[in-house]
Amino acid sequence: MSKGIYNVSSKKTFNTLSFDTGGFEIPIYKDYLLLLKKGQFYALNFDKVFGRLNSQFLNQNPIIVLKGKNLLDQYRLDFISEISLKPSIFIPDSSLFQLSGVDSFSLALEINKNFTPVLNISSELGRIAFNSQLPFLQKSKNTILSTDIAISNFAKPNVYIKNKLLELKINSLEKPSGYIAIGKEIPMKYNFLRKAQGLNVYLGLDNFNFDQLKGFSKSQVIDRNIELNNFIFDIDNVELANNQFHQMNGSLSLKGKEIKGIIQSDKLSGNFIRDESGFLKVELQDTQLQDISFLKNQKESSVIKNINARLIVQNSSINKLQIKLLDVYLLKNKNALTLDNINLNSNLISISPLSDGSKAYFSIDNKNDVYKLKGSYMVKDSLLWRFR
């Protein structure tokens, strides 16, 4: 039905068009459907449109309001509604993070000419709890966390989420790529993470204790479908066993089977690289450790079948051991563990080859309880021991 009005004083013509819509279904997520029932809309001068229609979703009957403009040009249509949602329906539990509770969410589906439709969602999450073993991912019910969410490309959803806990942009849910910032926003110097390939993570925290990772295994933390490209962290205070570190920052980059890492703090400085063959090289400088009990407590270390690594330590200390230089190859194969090509210069003990053409080593066969030693072992303020 169309009606027209002519305003004599302004000499403007107003035309109003009303039309009714039938009911239809829209798939939202997996087996969840949005049922749009009959509604009525009005168009003004073929330029603006407004109206409302009833709908049904998740056993609720939200009312959807339509607002639109520039219908004959660069049109924009907004479908606006509000609904109570249980986020755990759409975000499955993981070992890192679980959601519980129901809250009200405001929804606005934005459709613009020549642009992909975008669904904007906002909520204060006052009745939603974030359950996690990690304190920086926790949120209790009855606390406000204003959150904005934008979803586009509904066939293969692109998701953007931002609140005070995190900022997340994922370009594909099947094989996640994009970036995640936890704790703090990504600093300008790391802005490349926003456009880098694969999945990129930034962790900015005030405090972190490695005890928070107890109970996690590598398989629990890293999903096999996730292609992690870069991991960068800035943490003000770190606690590892009885060791305290301050202003710790570092990075981890992965390319195929190759992994590179750098770490810096007031009492810990080093880097490592694992090449495509699996060989690992670790270098530490100016590092001070008072407690290395965390190495004994690693449950997975005893089940590591093979080790092929080189460790270089310079100008560092472990409790009372002052290391000027340590250079050693670590080899483990089945039941044998070997420290090969040992060169150690410290305040308590020094280890070196017997001659220029030989090498110092120490080997343990755990199965047969056999020990093999070779080299010059000198305990300071004691005797010189030579093993051939």
258-287, pLDDT tens digit by residue? 999 999 999 999 999 999 999 999 999 999
Summarised one tens digit per residue, pLDDT across range 24-80 is: 776 666 667 778 787 888 888 878 888 888 888 888 889 989 898 988 888 888 889
Summarised one tens digit per residue, pLDDT across range 221-250 is: 555 567 789 999 999 999 988 899 999 999
- Any domain includes 256: no
- Any domain includes 77: yes
- Any domain includes 104: yes
pLDDT higher than threshold 60 for residue 18: yes
pLDDT higher than threshold 90 for residue 144: yes
- Any domain includes 67: yes
Closest CA to 353 of 372, 329, 377: 377
- What is the pTM assigned to this prediction? 0.83
**Cα pseudo-dihedral 335, 340, 344, 349, rounded to 10:** 50
pLDDT, greater one: 48 or 173: 48
Q: Into how many domains does the chain fold?
A: 1
- Any domain includes 221: no
pLDDT computed for residue 237 by the predictor: 96
- Any domain includes 313: no
Domain of residue 115 covers 1-140+147-156
- Any domain includes 78: yes
pLDDT computed for residue 11 by the predictor: 46
Summarised one tens digit per residue, pLDDT across range 104-140 is: 999 998 989 888 888 899 999 999 999 998 999 999 9
pLDDT computed for residue 8 by the predictor: 44
- Any domain includes 348: no
Percent of the chain beyond pLDDT 70? 87
- What CA–CA distances, in Å, run from 200 to 88, 169, 178, 208, 228? 24, 10, 6, 20, 6
pLDDT computed for residue 29 by the predictor: 63
What average pLDDT does range 129-157 have in this prediction? 90
Q: Do 239 and 212 form a contact (C-beta atoms < 8 A)?
A: no
pLDDT, greater one: 10 or 270: 270
pLDDT higher than threshold 60 for residue 220: no
What average pLDDT does range 132-151 have in this prediction? 92
What average pLDDT does range 344-353 have in this prediction? 92
pLDDT computed for residue 3 by the predictor: 47
**Rounded Cα distance, 105 and 92, in Å:** 19
pLDDT computed for residue 225 by the predictor: 61
Average model confidence (pLDDT) for the chain?
Answer: 85
